[in-house]
Structure 1
Amino acid sequence: MGEIADPARKSIGARRNPDSADAILEAAEAVLIEAGYAGFSIEAVARRARAGKPTIYRWWPSKAALLLEVYQRQKRVDIPDTESLEEDLVGFLINLFTHWRETSSGSVFRSLIAEAQSDETAAAALAGYAGGRRSHTGQIIERAKARGEIAGDIDPAVVADLVASYAWRHLLINRLDEPEAAIRKMVRYLLQGIEARGGQR
């Protein structure tokens, strides 16, 4: 008597089956929500998704790769375009903090950062992701440069790193309820600098 096919376990190959991949990603999200980072493993995800571990490892070669795709799948953060650099940066950070706070994506990204501390594969995945986000956030700075709002020799990547450093710190210490006034103060310090003007050095 032949085995009845389980619809949750479709045939797999080198190319990802979208339905199977979605089931695995949904299972990974559920495991993170229910068990947290400490309880997150490929084995737990495989059990939840009713998928084989080889399938998961074929499509995500590491725990970090799976965590990163779960995070990217969840992330929906609008980047404002108000024609004011201050308002764009403040709006972006408010949107980012709200997203991290109101969805499970904040805990997912914290988990990925934690994994990167002891796993070279995770560190490489995180560095690659951060590089892409630096370029993405740098577009805010590029727009301001094109408007003549900031000096032409400003490096957008460095400014993006400063913004990301502020955001990551708040994520890691779970201070995502920062009031707009505090976010705006940081952005003004960033844009205006802290050097005394007209005083002695």
Structure 2
Amino acid sequence: MSTPEPEPEDRRRSIGARRSPETEAAILMAAEAIVTEAGIAGFSIEAVAKRARAGKPTIYKWWPNKTALLLDVYHRQKPANVHSDTGSVEEDLLVFLTGIFAHWGDSGAGQIFRYVIAEAQRDATAAAALAEYARERRKQTGTIFARGVERGELADDIDVGLAADMVAGFIWQRLLTERLERDPARLRQVARQMVRGLSAPGT
């Protein structure tokens, strides 16, 4: 019986089912760097494993596919100041829209998220990963409207989850059609219309 070849000394090792923080950080940093340098077309698990000096089985144990890994890279890139409590629903929404469109347009995050959405249309595992991510973001965006209800700015019978879905539908559609809105006046109009609706004053 042949003796298995030992792993290279510089290969990062996992620690069983538990993630090694050092190895996880190295994998995510490698994945982010590859997307930045080569784009989605140049991204692969093989390339990430080589750059991070990690085994492919380790990566697949923690991320079932490329989409799941890219979602974690996307989450890692997302700025912390997208969601703010300004004391006004319209202003909170304006801050969110301005921040997310700038983030998608000024970094590789936009192309990552477009890829994830596209993969979710053909792969069940990718769809599940996106759905889980969307559920968490729905809760976060919903707090904008929940605060408005608590302050009395919004009607107390609104569905904050539905309001969050309407925002997500708008920004995802703009991302997929490459129409990231950057004009401050236009973004303010969008925020105002989302909050105040389409009814004429006094109706």
TM-score in terms of structure 2 length = 0.88
User: Do the aligned residues in 2 keep the contact of 1:115 with 1:122 (CA within 8 Å)?
Assistant: yes
- CA offset at residue 35 of structure 1? 2.5
1:10 to 2:8 alignment:
no
Aligned position for 2:167:
163
The change in CA–CA distance for 1:21 and 1:3 in structure 2 (over 3 A counts) is closer
Counterpart contact for 1:100–1:106, Cα < 8 Å: yes
Partners of 2:181 and 2:187 within 8 A in 1 = no
- Measured against aligned partners, the alpha-carbon deviations of 1:82-139 in whole angstroms (never above 9, x if no partner) come to 2111111111111111222222222221221121121111111101111111111111
Distance in 2 (CA, whole Å) between partners of 1:197 and 1:175 is: 30
1:88 aligned to 2:92?
A: yes
Please say if 1:61 is aligned against 2:64: yes
Instruction: Structure 1: give runs of 5+ residues left out of the alignment.
Output: none
Percent identity among equivalent residues?
56
Once residues 94 and 142 of structure 2 are traced to their aligned partners in structure 1, the CA distance between those partners, rounded to angstroms, is 14
- Is this contact kept in 2: 1:137–1:160, CA < 8 A? yes
Pair 1:139–1:56, CA change in 2 (3 A): same
Is 2:150 aligned against 1:146? yes
CA positional deviation for 1:3: 7.6
Contact 2:102 2:182 in 1 (8 A): no
The Cα offsets for residues 59-83 of structure 1, whole Å up to 9 and x where unpaired, read as 1112221111111111124212121
Bigger CA drift: 66-75 or 11-20?
A: 11-20
Secondary structure of the 1:154 match is coil
Q: Is the 8 A contact 1:77 1:95 kept in 2?
A: no
Asked if 1:135 is matched to 2:178, the reply is: no
Structure 1 residue 47, shift from structure 2 partner: 2.0
The 3 A distance-change label for structure 1 pair 174 and 147 is same
- Give the match for residue 3 of structure 2: none
Question: Which of the residues 20, 23, 33 maps onto 1:20?
Answer: 23
Secondary structure of 1:142's partner? helix
TM-score by length of 1: 0.89
2:122 aligns with 118
1:9/1:20 contact within 8 Å kept: yes
Structure 2: distance between partners of 1:122 and 1:88: 31
Q: Cα gap change, 1:136/1:11 in structure 2, threshold over 3 Å: closer, same or farther?
A: closer
Q: 5+ unaligned residues in a row in structure 2: which ranges?
A: 1-5
SS in structure 2 at match of 1:38: helix
User: Which string of whole-angstrom CA distances, capped at 9 and with x for unpartnered residues, describes residues 127-180 of structure 1?
Assistant: 111111111111110110001101000000111111111211222233335211
Match of 1:35 in 2: 38
Contact kept, 8 Å, 1:64 with 1:122, in 2: the verdict is yes
User: Number of aligned pairs?
Assistant: 197
